[in-house]
A and B are shown apart, each in its own frame.
Chain A
Amino acid sequence: MSDTITAAVTDKTAPTPAARAAHDASTREASAIAMQGLHKRFGRDTVALAGVDLAIRAGEFFTLLGPSGCGKTTLLRILAGLEEADDGRLLIGGRDVTDVPPHRRSVNTVFQSYALFPHLSVRENLDFGLKMRGVAPAERKARVARIAEFIQLGDLVERRVDQLSGGQRQRIALARALVCEPDVLLLDEPLSALDAGLRSQLQVELLRVQKRLGMTFVFVTHDQDEAMVMSDRIAVLNGGLIQQVGPPREVYEHPVNAFVARFMGHDNLYPVTGRCGDRLTTPLGELTAEAAGSGALLLIRPETLDLLPGDGAGTNHLPARVVERLYRGSHAEYRLAVGESTLQATVNNRGRHLPEVGDRVTVTVAPEDLVTLSE
């Protein structure tokens, strides 16, 4: 199964520059996409991109993550050529495509609304890009058949688009883009219209496809969980600027600023009011941190906390009271009062005693789990 499409990608007879580039080892090393100082404004006052520099590696699953209005979709549309940057340069596969129109870019998009042509059958939809590129009919037929098998569309190919379910449409939109074997595949929140179960199933499927093909995927989402599951690297955007670029673990565990931390779901952020060597003064009390950096905010991840019954003393032992407990089966989420402050903690359910609301407990955290970040 996995060989069929790889064969298609590296097919020597494929006339597209995309196919040639894909099996060229030297381009594989180089960055697939380079963005240099991209600016974009809508109207007079709406700044969508305020200077974006970013390099995406070949074969990478790269995610643009951010809240709505952060510029991630605009960036994707500039990559696709559907939007023109006001300023800056864009290179794809080493070629400057800043002024190249979308129909001459070896880039394909999976749209949020799927954008399947209603007047065509599934097969004709899959065939559309190849036909427009002028690929020979026999090869078109073979490639459509291969992609249909690869995405497991089965007998759907003769259906009309309006007879398909959301999940089926999503897969056909993906197949329609993949069959063109682009240098880069762009995905604009492709899973956001699906319900949760189907969504996680398709997340896995999408990831497998990407790994098998080794194609560069640029994925846009506002869901940090989805971003962490899927990505090799994540770029977090806000206000038209890139806040942080890195692998999911780095972005989650070492966010560079308060925005990234909050966006990744962290609530335990406390100002550092005093500092003496490794000793930090915070509203929670004195805490010892190891190699936590010199930022002005302290981040405590809820899953690094341990709850001990009763009062205890020692390094990074804080007296606390349980204010709220959400029992989740595999774990429990706590809201604790520490002095005047509140602290979130997640405790794995290993069959041990789970403190109740109102209990007095001692919270502990290891010094190496504490990080600081800038405002």
Chain B
Amino acid sequence: MRKRTLKRGLTAFWWLTLAFLYLPLAVVVLFSFNASNSAANFTDVSLRWYYRLLGNEEILSAFANSMVLAIVSSVVALVVGCLIGYGMYRHRHRKLGWLIVLIYLPIVLPDIVFGISEMAFFVQVHRLTGFLQPGLSTMIIAHVTFQIPFVALIVYSRFVGLDPTLFEAAKDLYATPIKRVVHFMLPTIKPALISAFFLSFTLSVDDFVISFFTAGPESATLPIYIWGAIKKGVSPEINAIATLMIGAVAVAAIVSLMFSRRRQA
């Protein structure tokens, strides 16, 4: 009897929490279709804010910046992180405490400290040498820095899960060092590489603080543009871009759900 009440209470609490989690997103989506530009009253359904987006060059260039930043940084982080993940695995019997600390550093450092250290560093390097002018390149460097640990840890844990004699079997079956990489290691860790790439990509698109501090005047990404628009005064256009970004996440969520379903089957 008592158990049933508890279960019912928990079920109600669960739905309340879900409402809490999705309400802010739902409001953004709803008002993106609002005909008037009021943030409080929904008057009529219209797509006018979406048409406005298409004509806004600033938004389109911010979108392009976001994509370039996410793709380039993920690719670089994938290569560097994959190497470090393999190195950690291969030399796991050594004392590599310093390496572990180094790899966890970008993860534990508060975003804001991360961002301003990079900014201060880039500004000074640029003043002294002329290199590393704040812009897309400095943002890529900063993003790669926080993506490397995630890639390295994913690749490392995939290697740890393998039977170590597989490496010996590949040697034994006449694979030269290069062929071992091409025909054994890369195909074996392919799932880890794919998920590491997508995680890096998501982290990059999701990031605001670090991008904000390492960006230059020409390299605003979508979150930076939205931030600026909010600061200038709320415009209903933001609802429209935000809705598109929420839609992308929803698609990603459904895809990941289907993937996990298929793996179980």
Direct A–B contact present (CB less than 8 angstroms) = yes
Residues of A contacting B122 in the complex (Cβ-Cβ under 8 angstroms): none
Residue B244 interfacial (CB < 8 Å): no
Q: How far is the CB of B94 from chain A (nearest CB, A)?
A: 13
Contact between chains at A128 and B173 (CB < 8 Å): yes
Contacts of A30 in B (CB 8 A): none
Give min CB distance, A164 to chain B, whole Å: 14
Task: Name the A residues within 8 Å of B175 (CB-CB).
Answer: 103, 128, 132
B188 x A118 contact (CB < 8 A): yes
- Residues from chain A with a CB closer than 8 A to the CB of B162 are 118
Q: Say whether A80 faces chain B, with CB atoms less than 8 Å apart.
A: yes
Residue of A80, A132, A177 with most chain B CB atoms under a 10 A cut-off? A132
Residue A101 interfacial (CB < 8 Å)? yes
- A115 close to B169 (CB less than 8 A): yes
Report the Cα distance A112→B188, complex, angstroms.
20
- Chain B neighbourhood of A80, CB < 8 A: 168, 172
Q: How far is the CA of A264 from the CA of B176 in the complex (A)?
A: 41
A117: chain B residues within 8 A (beta carbon) = 166, 169-170, 184, 188
Q: Complex formed: what's the CA distance from A270 to B101 in Å?
A: 62
B107 to chain A, nearest CB (A): 29
A109 within 8 Å of B (CB atoms):
yes
Q: Are A103 and B190 in contact (CB under 8 A)?
A: no
Residue A216 interfacial (CB < 8 Å): no
Residue of A at shortest CB range from B180? A103
A103 touches B176 (CB 8 A): yes
Cβ contact of A132, chosen from B163, B165, B166, B183, cutoff 8 A: B183
A333, chain B: closest CB distance, angstroms: 39
Q: Report how far A180 CA is from B170 CA in the complex, Å.
A: 13
Given contacts A82-B168, A117-B166, A131-B183, contact A108 B173 (CB under 8 A): yes
B247 at interface by CB-CB < 8 Å: no
How many A residues have CB within 8 A of the partner chain? 27
A251 to B141, CA, bound (A): 68
Interface check B179, CB cutoff 8 A: yes
Chain A residues with Cβ below 8 Å from B174 are 103-104, 129, 132-133, 180
* Residues on the A chain within 8 Å of B176, using CB: 103, 132
Question: In the complex, are the beta carbons of B184 and A102 less than 8 A apart?
Answer: no
A residues 159-209 near B (Cβ < 8 Å) are 176-177, 180
Report B119 CB to chain A, min CB distance, Å.
43
- State A16–B163 Cα separation when bound (angstroms): 29
CB distance from A265 to the nearest CB of B (A): 30
B126 contacts which chain A residues (CB < 8 A)? none
Smallest beta-carbon distance B265→chain A, Å: 14
B171, closest chain A residue (CB):
A102
Number of A-B contacts (CB under 8 A): 66
Q: Which residues of B contact A259 (CB under 8 A)?
A: none
The interface bits of chain B over 161-203 (1 if a CB of A lies within 8 angstroms of the residue's CB, else 0) are 0110110111111111001000110011010000000000000
Which chain B residue shows the least CB distance to A101?
B171
B residues 138-178 touching A (CB-CB < 8 Å): 162-163, 165-166, 168-176
Interface pair B172/A109, CB less than 8 Å apart: yes
Bound CA–CA A113/B187 (angstroms): 20
Which residues from A are CB-within-8-Å of B169? Answer: 109, 111, 115-117
Is the beta-carbon distance between A111 and B165 smaller than 8 angstroms? yes
For B166, give its contact among A101, A104, A115 (CB under 8 Å): A115
Complex Cα distance A373/B80, Å?
Answer: 63
Considering only CB atoms, which chain A residue lies closest to B184 in the complex? Answer: A117
Inter-chain contacts of B166 with A (CB < 8 A): 115, 117-118
Nearest neighbor of A134 in chain B, beta-carbon distance: B174
CA distance A82 to B170 in the complex (A): 11
CB distance from B9 to the nearest CB of A (A): 43
Residues from chain B with Cβ under 8 Å of A176 in the complex: 173
**A81 within 8 Å of B (CB atoms):** yes
A115: which of B165, B183, B190 is its contact (CB, 8 Å)? B165
A119 touches B163 (CB 8 A): no
CA–CA, A161 and B168, complex, Å: 18
A-B contact pairs, 27 of them (CB 8 A): A80-B168, A81-B171, A81-B172, A82-B168, A102-B171, A103-B173, A103-B176, A107-B172, A108-B173, A109-B169, A111-B165, A112-B165, A115-B163, A115-B168, A115-B169, A117-B170, A117-B184, A119-B187, A119-B190, A128-B173, A128-B183, A129-B173, A132-B176, A133-B174, A176-B173, A177-B172, A180-B173
Besides the contacts A103-B174, A115-B166, what 18 more A-B pairs have beta carbons closer than 8 Å?
A: A80-B168, A80-B172, A82-B168, A102-B168, A102-B171, A103-B173, A104-B174, A107-B172, A109-B168, A113-B163, A113-B165, A115-B169, A118-B166, A132-B173, A132-B174, A132-B175, A133-B174, A176-B173
